[in-house]
Each structure stands twice: as structure tokens, then as C-alpha cells.
Structure 1
Amino acid sequence: MLTYIQKPYKFIALILILIISNAVTLPAMADVCRNYFGQRICIVSINRSAKNYWEYRASLTVDGVKRPQEVYNCRQKFRVQQDGAIVQFKPKDPGELICSFFRKT
């Protein structure tokens, strides 16, 4: 008799674990998109540097075109491309959006 009582609780516990695990993982998979000066910019992934808090490693899509992962230096306003080339931010650059994403107010 005890086994019939315990089985529904195990099933309910399993369902709750699945719901909680999906609630935790789904927001991490969603892109964050913004309209930024006429461009649709989506942040696919972003990581802040532990050593240099002003640097972010991010990959974006700009108007649906995926960019490779780049390092954004928000202190000196440039990004480092995968081949090592340094590109200064231009006016209305997506790098400004990256830098303002976690800016304290």
C-alpha cells in the first residue's frame, strides 16, 4: 500500500524538477534584441571579463547578419576582432550598445 502512495509524489517531484530546470535555462538561451539607431542588434552571447571589468566578449547579429565573437573595450572605445585587428567605435556603433548594456546608473 505504501508504494502506491509514494509513486505519485515521485512523479510530481520529477515534473517540478523539469519545470524548474526549464525556467532556469530558457532565459539564458534567448537573445536580447534592441532597435539601435535604425539597426536591429541582437546580443547572442555576452561575457564580462573577470580581470578587466570594462571588457566584454560578445557575439551579435546586426540586422540579421551574425558577427563573430569580438572583445569590446568600453574604456578606450574599441573592439578586437578574431584576427586581432583593432577597430575604433564609430558614432552609433553596436559597441556602444554593448557598453551601455550593464552600465550602472
Structure 2
Amino acid sequence: MKVTDQDLEKLFRKANSPELSESEYKSAKANLLSIKSETRLGESKKYGARIDAALIALEHHRPVKIEWYQKPFGLILIGGLGGVFTYGILLSLGWVSMPN
């Protein structure tokens, strides 16, 4: 696979873009890693450091996926269920009693 300077510049710009989607991130990382593995001795001097810098920048701009349990409702649900579960265990052990 022959990569042109324009393709590499496009990948470098994409790696430094702060608003990447998950698919763009995976595609850019796969392309950079494949280019890095295929570079020959002469080409590695020319692009090796820039590809490494682009990979670092890409990891810095990696999109963060927030799961349901990291959102406010999920945290309240987990906290509430944890409190009810703990109170039930303490009630079964006789350490607390039901309120009047």
C-alpha cells in the first residue's frame, strides 16, 4: 500500500481533531498503525516521529463513552438500591428496626 504525503497530512489533521466519533477514532488509529508497521527504513526516518506524535494525539482526543451508571440517574439508582439492600441486611440481622 503506497501512502501519499496528502493522505498522511489528512491523517495527522484527523488525529489532532478534538471532536472525533468512535468510528473515526478507530479508523484513524488503524490506518496510522498500519502505515507505521509498513514503513521501510528510509521512510521511517521521514515519518516515524510524526506518526508516533499523531498516535499520542489521537489517544489524547479519544472519544469518551459515558455508560448509564455514570450518569446522574444511574448513580442515584445505584445509591438508592444500595441503601435499601444494606438496610434490608441490617434489618434481617436485627441491628436496626423498622421506623414507627
TM-score in same-fold range (> 0.5): no
Q: Normalization by structure 1: what TM-score?
A: 0.28
Q: Normalization by structure 2: what TM-score?
A: 0.29
Higher relative contact order (CA 8 A, sep 6+): 2
Which structure: larger Rg?
A: 2
